[in-house]
Structure formats: structure tokens, C-alpha cells
Structure 1
Amino acid sequence: MAIVLGPNRYGKAETRLVSVARDGETHTLTDLNVSIALSGDLAATHLTGDNSGVLPTDTMKNTVYAFAKERGVGEPEQFALQLARHFVSTQSQIDKAHITIEAYGWERLGPHSFQRRGDHTRLAAVTVTAEQEQVVSGVTGLTLLNSTASEFHGYPKDRYTTLPETRDRILATAVDARWRHLTADGDWAGSFAGALEALTTAFANTYSHSLQQTLYAMGSYTLSQRPELAEVRLALPNKHHYLVDLSPFGLTNDNEVFIAGDRPYGLIEGTVIRDDAPPAGVEWYL
């Protein structure tokens, strides 16, 4: 039996970067969490401890901060592309750089005052090799709720089924979505804002017979509105809301009073793809 080294990579995870762009008295705040993963000809360090091809992860962290000063940050996709291109072009032993960024939003209160926005986190993931570049954007923690216009019935039942069918329910979810771009250049800010608007519009306007149906409606509408995107991947937890039994108090409950469930929860996942789009150059995950 032979034992060999399989796929591997290494990098610096979760480098926190806060950048203040000072344009006179009006400042712009950027708040990022940057993770770097490099792969390539790294067998020697695993097999013999030879570190001649191992760029220190501390250097990767320093590069993030230096690039923020020298080049500015801008949109997370563009910043990730700059970092990934740098590592692939300057480190001959590295053939792939994967950069992921979480971007935390702040609302402006004044020229230099801000309030943290907690409704969602913007995401960007970039993979660069010598031959190709791939950009994926996304969002996590986007909590949406329809108080009606949702049903769930007609499902198979067995001896363990206790869930009653419903023709009117609350539908709520915390959207975790990623979308792959067709090219590695574009209007990143406009594309993100447009995709986010499409996702929320489709959720609000879909009369839902299942969360699976809503997932497909959100993905397909986003692709129809954003021609720069190749595919959308969605994970939608079903944030259950259960009717409270008010009968012990002599009261009826006409879909008015609910318990918001925490766990367990249903998790619906799926991908919606533009059928004429080229396949992803490298595998990517939600």
C-alpha cells in the first residue's frame, strides 16, 4: 500500500482590515475580514520540512495591510483579485490563490460617523491561476419574512408524520447566497446591489407552495435581471413559526400569534444555472 500526499493548501485566515479613506472632512469606512489560501508545489514542506517554498502566512497578512495603503481597498471583489494576482505572479511555486472576503456594512451618520449595519454580510471569493480567474459574490445572514402568501400541503405522509397541512403560514428564512460572475471584471458595487435587490424582490413577490419553489424563483429572477451572472447557489433555512395554542385561555388564534422556532430547522439548498453560461473554471462552494 502506497501513502501519498493529497490536495493541500495553506494561508492566513481572517485578517481583519478596517480602512478609512479620508476625502477632506468626509470619510469612507471599509471593514473587511480577509482569508487567503495558496496551493501549488508545496510537497517538500509536508514530506521533509523544507520550507524554501513556503511564503510565511505573516507575510500574507502584511500584504493585505500594505495593499490597503498603497492601492486602496475599493470593492471587495477587486481587492481580492489584486491580492490573488499578486501571490500567483510573485511566487513561482504557487499555481492557485483563493481569496475570500467578508465585508461588513456601515451606514453613514455624518461626514465621519457611522452605525454598523447588521442585516446582512457581503461576501466575495476569488480564485486565480495562471490560466484563469473566477469571481463569486454573495450574501449571508439576509433574513426575510412573508407573513402570508405561503402554503405547504400535498406532501407524503407516513406513520411518523405529525405536521399538519397549511394553506396560510409565515415563510421566513436567512438567505445564504453566492453567485458566479461570467468575467473577472465589472461593476462590482452595482452588480451586488442589483443581485441583492433581485433576490429580495423575488422573495417578496413569489406566492410560495414550498421553500424549494421560492429558492428557484429567487435564483431564476436574479439571473434574468443580472446578465453578468452565470449561476446562483442558495441555502435557505426554514425559520419555522409555530401557532400558539390559545384554546386553554378560551381564545382563538387566526394566524396571529406564533412561537419563533430556533432549531431544528429545514434547510433547502439548490443551484440555478444559466444554460448557455460556460461552466465554472474551478470548483466553488456555497
Structure 2
Amino acid sequence: MKIKLGENSYGKNAVQLSKIIRHPAYHEFRQITVNVSLKGDFNEAHKDGDNSKILPTDTQKNTVYALAKDHFKTSIEDFALYLANYFITTQAQVEAATIEIAEQQYHRMQFDGVEHPHAYIGGGSEKRTTRVVKTASTVSVQSGIADLLILKTTDSGFEKYIKDKYTTLKETGDRILATKCEVAWMWDKLPADYTEQFNSIRGLLLQTFAGHKSLSVQQTLYAMGEAVLETYAGIREIYLQMPNKHHIPFNLEQFEIQNQNEIFIATDEPYGMITATVVRE
């Protein structure tokens, strides 16, 4: 029986990088986490312990910091593209470089409608994300959002579902819909300005969520993805992950108090997980 090495890769994960971009009138603060993964001719390293084609993961980490000085000035997509191209062009043994970046959101504080030049407030758990895969002849770019916590207090229900002997869930036409959303879209045509497009797409996702009369999380998820594909011809497909963050009405009747959809128990686990990719036909 012959044994051979299957698909493999290696790299450096969770490279934490913060940068101050010093503009004349204000400071721009950026905080990102970078993952690097390289695929290529690493057979001898695995079989023989020959490291002559291995770029140390510590060197990969240092490369991220060094290149950020002059090349992390705009979007995370632009920086990921530069990093991926750097590893492909400087390392002949590397066939594909994958760069994943997640950016923590910070916003300049405002006082009396004026942004402070160097004081920031965090944007909660939400992160902007990208994933770039580069070979010598191809490139793919994915942009997205992670940990986007959104909620609406009405215009959401869940009725007429399967009921069997184990069903205890009661139908409702009026419930809280809450989720920590993850979204990722693949570009068919790379935009001139990733940040402008990101902000516009994020706004459309939020607007669709808020305005949609939801009969299920699935229906709302599809409506959000559909809105993006109908509006942006340069996007090939969009993936959405929407865990159902349950808010269960608390039984106030035991205290002879009527609960008119006002008091709830917020639960983290267990939760429903709804995912789908919306694509063009």
C-alpha cells in the first residue's frame, strides 16, 4: 500500500496588529487580526524533515507588521491582496496564499456634532472581514461582517410549522427577532473602493432586516441576501449565518401579572442556527 501526503498548508494565525494613520487634522486608528496560510511544495518537510522550502511562521508574522507600515492605508481587502501577492511572488514554492483579516470597529468620539481628532469609542463585537486567495494566475476576494448583533422587537413571527408528539413550542405572530449575524459575499468584479461598497452593503442589510415582515428567520435571511444581489451586480453570491438568539416570554401569570410581550428571558444556549448561500441562477 502506497501512502502519500494529501492536501496541506501552514501559516500564522491571530496576528494582532494596531496602526495609527496620522492625518494632518486627525488620527485614524485601525485594529486588525490577520491569518496567513500558504499552500505549495512542502512534501519534503513532511516526509523527510527538510525545511529548506519552509518560510517560518514567525517570519510570516513579521512580514505582516513590516508591510503594514507602507501598505495598510486603506481597506483590509487592499492590504490582504498586497500580502497574498507578496508571498506568491517572493516564495517560488508557494502555489496559493490565503489571507484572512478581521477588523475591530472603532469610531471617533463626537462632541456637539464634531468628531474628536484622536479619541475613539469601540463598535462592540462587530468586525469587518475579508478572505483573499491568490495564486500565480487567479485571485478571489471575499468581504463580509462578523458578530453583527441585530434585533427587532416586532414584525416577526413563527407559525404553521411541523408539530409532533415532542413539540412544545407555541406559535406566535409577534416575537423578538435577534441574531448575531455573519455575512460574506464573493466579488465577481472587484470594486474600486472596498470601504465605500462595504458601508453601502452593510446599510442595505440593516435596512432590509428592519423593514422585513418576518415569517421565519429563513425568510428574513433570504430577503437580506436577495436585496444585496439585486442591488450589486459585482457580487456573485452571498452567505449568511443567523443564529436565533431566543428571547422567551417570562411567565408572570404565576404572580397574577399579565405579560403583554414585555418581559423576556434572554438565552444564549441552546439556539437555532440558520445558514444559507443566496446565488444567481
Q: Which of the five TM-score ranges fits, normalised by the shorter chain?
A: over 0.9
Give the residue type in structure 2 aligned to 1:81: L
Matches within 5 A, 1:145-164: 145-164=151-170
Q: Which residue of 1 aligns with 2:211?
A: 205
What is the CA distance between 1:198 and its match in structure 2?
A: 1.2
Count of residue pairs the alignment pairs up: 275
Matches within 5 A, 1:67-82: 67-82=67-82
Equivalent-residue separation in structure 2 for 1:120 and 1:93 (angstroms):
36
Give the residue type in structure 2 aligned to 1:265: Y
What is the CA distance between 1:259 and its match in structure 2?
A: 0.7
Q: Which residue of 1 aligns with 2:181?
A: 175
Q: Percent identity?
A: 43
Matches within 5 A, 1:32-181: 32-109=32-109, 110-181=116-187
Equivalent-residue separation in structure 1 for 2:248 and 2:145 (angstroms):
27
- Residue pair 1:64, 1:83 contacting (<8 A) in 2 also: yes
What is the CA distance between 1:18 and its match in structure 2?
A: 0.8
Q: Deviations over 1:141-185 (max 9, x none)?
A: 111112111111111111111111111111111101101111345
- Residue pair 2:190, 2:234 contacting (<8 A) in 1 also: no
- Residue pair 1:77, 1:126 contacting (<8 A) in 2 also: yes
Unaligned runs of at least 5 residues, structure 2:
110-115
Unaligned runs of at least 5 residues, structure 1:
276-286
Q: Which residue of 1 aligns with 2:230?
A: 224
Please identify, of 176-185 and 131-140, the stretch whose mean Cα deviation from structure 2 is larger: 176-185
Q: Which residue of 1 aligns with 2:246?
A: 240
Q: Deviations over 1:18-76 (max 9, x none)?
A: 11111235111111111100001111100001111101111111111111113343210
Equivalent-residue separation in structure 2 for 1:24 and 1:113 (angstroms):
15
- Residue pair 1:194, 1:226 contacting (<8 A) in 2 also: no
- Residue pair 2:38, 2:97 contacting (<8 A) in 1 also: yes
Give the residue type in structure 1 aligned to 2:215: H
What is the CA distance between 1:2 and its match in structure 2?
A: 2.6
The TM-score with structure 2 as length reference comes to: 0.95
Equivalent-residue separation in structure 1 for 2:256 and 2:191 (angstroms):
62
